[in-house]
Amino acid sequence: MSINRTEINWEHIGHANYVVAMAAMDGALYAITQDYKLWIRVAVPGDINWQVIGQANQAVAMAAANNMLFAATQDGSFWVREGVAEDIKWDKIGQAEKVIAMTASDGNLYAVTSDNKLLTREVNTEDIPWVEIGHANNVVGLTATGGKLYAATSDNNLWMRDTVHEDLIWQQIGHANNVVAMAASEGKLFAATSDNRLWIRPSEAS
């Protein structure tokens, strides 16, 4: 484990009520809430209203890529829908067993499981297996930008590692207090916290 000498602070930019999963794509933030509604807002600093655009029943993790939203549900199923701002149905495309957090980067999906495994698979709508590529302990939020994975952990720390498909040591880069979900857009990290706030900070790669 290594720790940076200087730490970047998070900035409070708005609200994110009862969020359980979050993702970003094409300048938009997507969130799933405890009542399984799917929401969207612009991924910029400021307290902007979220707009409900559908349902995401039993979802516990979400990622966004290639104009698609991917979700893992409590029963270990894996779902996809288009990333449009309207209420359309989700299609089941496979399994995502024990997945609790998810993100996407450079044509790959990455997921963390409740037993601390880091998994990957390609971004597509086919039923293909997840491949274990490493560890990710006690993660409560996961995102990716600039070829890096970022994870917030239950002990309020923020960690980073490359997206390469091997078991690397995570580098501690700061704090991430009370995080319940993360996303990244344009080199910025977004975090929703358990007190219903939305935060932003630069990524290490920005």
Cβ atoms of 126 and 115 closer than 8 Å: no
Report pLDDT for 205.
Answer: 54
pLDDT of residue 96: 98
The reported pLDDT for the residue numbered 3 is 43
Q: Where along the chain do its domains lie? A: 11-202
Per-residue pLDDT of the chain (206 residues; tens, 9 = 90+): 344 446 789 999 999 999 999 999 999 999 999 999 999 999 999 999 999 999 999 999 999 999 999 999 999 999 999 999 999 999 999 999 999 999 999 999 999 999 999 999 999 999 999 999 999 999 999 999 999 999 999 999 999 999 999 999 999 999 999 999 999 999 999 999 999 999 999 998 54
- Does the domain at residues 11-202 carry the CATH identifier 3.30.2230.10? no
Residue 204 has a pLDDT of 80
CB 189 within 8 A of CB 205: no
- What letter does residue 97 receive in the DSSP assignment? T
> pTM score, two decimals?
0.95
**pLDDT at position 18, please?**
98
Cα–Cα distance measured from residue 181 to residue 75, given in angstroms and rounded to the nearest whole number:
19
